[in-house]
Amino acid sequence: MFAAIVVPDFRLQAVLRHAPELCSKAVALISEQQPHACILQCTPEAHAAGVVIGMTTSQARARCDTLIVRERSPAAERPARAAMLDCAYAFSPFHEDTAEGVCTLEWKDARLPEAGKIAQAMIAQLASLHLLARVGFAPNAGLALLAAQSAKTWTCIQDARELADLSVESLAPSERTLELLRRWGIRTVGAFTALQREHLVERLGAEAATLYDRATGQATWPLRCVLPAETYEEAVEFEQEIEMLEPLLFMLRRFLEQIARRLETTYLVAAEVTLRIGFTTGEDHVRTFKVPAPTADVEVLFRMLHTHLEKLAAEHPIVSLHLVAIPSRPARQQFELFAPALRDPNQFYETLARLIALVGNDRVGMPVCEPTHRPDAFRMAAVHFGTEKELTDDPACEMSLTLRRFRPPLGASVQFQGRPCSLVSAPVRGQVRTAEGPYHASGDWWDAMSWDRAEWDVQIADGTLCRIYCEGETWFLEGIYD
């Protein structure tokens, strides 16, 4: 016996999973990839307001001014698809990731007396993951898929003739074939199967044979069963909400021990660990840890997670924990004689993680110059070892003296008469002997971060050469030249 789970309007549902309050509103999904975005899928409310698949957003809004438009999100579709497979796995180890929003399961028994209960359980489980699904049971995979498409919630059929009224689109013809069938006036599976198979093949090619077999329930295929994921997962939904760190750590250690044991038996190590913590609000806290030196050492992995969790302030009680480890082969490293290399990358990254926990993610790493005119613009990039230092080709840098910057720049008081005459700041003060400038620079005028400044290089009476600048009415000491 086979079963098919179908999540209709899968892309839309995947997007709305995290915004269930929108499900009862007029919502349409578009693909942002296209220049004139067309409606891909829409809620029944939008459809009732006259929104039709294929319309442009403007046309749809002309029909329904309350229409909410959402963009397609492959990122949202991936977990939704995984959730379907997880659900399928819970009911049968023989399950297939058949297509987008479609999953087929097989039981070796010819009959399934509990089909109704199974279907309802499946639907309920997917509903809890915010996916509305339909389930169909049939003696073969193809028929089960059609059955699921014809079902309101679930159905079990034995013969393809029961599906005569099903839309011909359910057979998943190619766009070209579907267009031809429409021109022929063929709208249902019944009308399609009323045509002779050989006539169809003669006109539509080999695809027609496939479609015909599918429509008559003769199409079946050995399931390409999905192997357990290439990841090592452990998950639990707590019976009681957790508000303390200890029980969480206890469970984490057990998860890691299980995962480590499985990794060891396959001679693999964990290269990446993803921690997902579910809160009562339905929200998750997800954090992925790259393991600098992949390992299966429980202590190392545990310390990494522990360091992070110590600084995590959860506002809500925790209801679930999900840990995923991505394996890799153990790295073999030959240390070079003169090249500096980290003896214990894990230790180093653990230190970095502690720093990040203290100062924030955007404040730890290696500074990388931003390609902009904004002076001293940089961002923090992840630390990588072994890469060559990039040489700058900025002519200004090439000829300039070394500037020791104050970060942030220091406030300064400047007497200005056509040029700076005197400078008073914490580190330097005095009459300005010579001044070069102003150098005007401004940018990001299209943004809230717009900036505009006039820089001067000044030499103080004591010979100190420094860079000052004025932004608005305020002066700053930016740095001192060596």
Determine the straight-line distance between the first and last CA of the chain, rounded to whole angstroms: 81
In whole angstroms, how far apart are CA 70 and each of 47, 402, 433? Answer: 15, 51, 62
Closest to other proteins by CB, 177 vs 346, is 177
3-class DSSP state for residue 273? strand
Closest to other proteins by CB, 8 vs 438, is 438
Complete edge-to-edge strand list for the sheet that includes strand 102-106: 95-99, 102-106, 2-6, 134-138, 154-156
In the numeric block, which tokens belong to residue 323?
Answer: 């840990």
Q: How far is the CB of 23 from other proteins (least distance, A)?
A: 21
Q: For residue 25, what are the contacts with CB-CB under 8 A and spacing of at least 6?
A: 43, 45, 66, 68
In the numeric block, which tokens belong to residue 278?
Answer: 């579910």
* Other beta carbons less than 10 A from residue 295's beta carbon: 20
Q: For residue 471, what are the contacts with CB-CB under 8 A and spacing of at least 6?
A: 451, 452, 453
- Residues 373 and 441 sit within 8 Å (Cβ to Cβ): yes
DSSP state, residue 56: B
317 burial class (0-12, 13-18, 19+ CB within 10 angstroms)? Answer: middle
Closest to other proteins by CB, 22 vs 355, is 22
Nearest to 141, CA basis, from 160, 168, 167: 160
Residues in contact with other proteins by the rule CB under 8 A: 30, 32, 34-37, 50, 56-59, 61-63, 65, 69, 71, 180, 183-186, 194-196, 199, 202-204, 370-373, 395-396, 399-400, 436-443, 445-448, 454-455
Closest to other proteins by CB, 371 vs 472, is 371
Q: How far is the CB of 453 from other proteins (least distance, A)?
A: 10
- Pairing status of strand 27-30 against strand 68-71: parallel
Q: How far is the CB of 460 from other proteins (least distance, A)?
A: 20
In the numeric block, which tokens belong to residue 366?
Answer: 């290696």
Separation between Cα atoms, residue 453 and residue 442, nearest integer Å: 6
Separation between Cα atoms, residue 44 and residue 181, nearest integer Å: 26
- Residues 292 and 350 sit within 8 Å (Cβ to Cβ): no
- Pairing status of strand 429-443 against strand 420-425: antiparallel
Closest to other proteins by CB, 28 vs 323, is 28
Nearest to 252, CA basis, from 312, 293, 330, 329: 312
Side-chain half-sphere exposure of 314, counting CA atoms within 13 A: 24
Closest to other proteins by CB, 34 vs 266, is 34
Q: How far is the CB of 76 from other proteins (least distance, A)?
A: 17
Closest to other proteins by CB, 41 vs 125, is 41
Closest to other proteins by CB, 361 vs 450, is 450
Q: How far is the CB of 34 from other proteins (least distance, A)?
A: 8
Separation between Cα atoms, residue 398 and residue 475, nearest integer Å: 26
Q: How far is the CB of 55 from other proteins (least distance, A)?
A: 9
Q: How far is the CB of 477 from other proteins (least distance, A)?
A: 17
Cα 437 from chain centroid (whole Å): 48
- Residues 405 and 478 sit within 8 Å (Cβ to Cβ): yes
Separation between Cα atoms, residue 383 and residue 365, nearest integer Å: 5
Closest to other proteins by CB, 62 vs 90, is 62
Closest to other proteins by CB, 289 vs 475, is 475
In the numeric block, which tokens belong to residue 381?
Answer: 């990039």
User: What Rg, from alpha-carbon coordinates, does the chain have?
Assistant: 32
Closest to other proteins by CB, 131 vs 171, is 171
Closest to other proteins by CB, 216 vs 295, is 216
In whole angstroms, how far apart are CA 450 and each of 124, 379, 443, 471? Answer: 52, 17, 6, 11
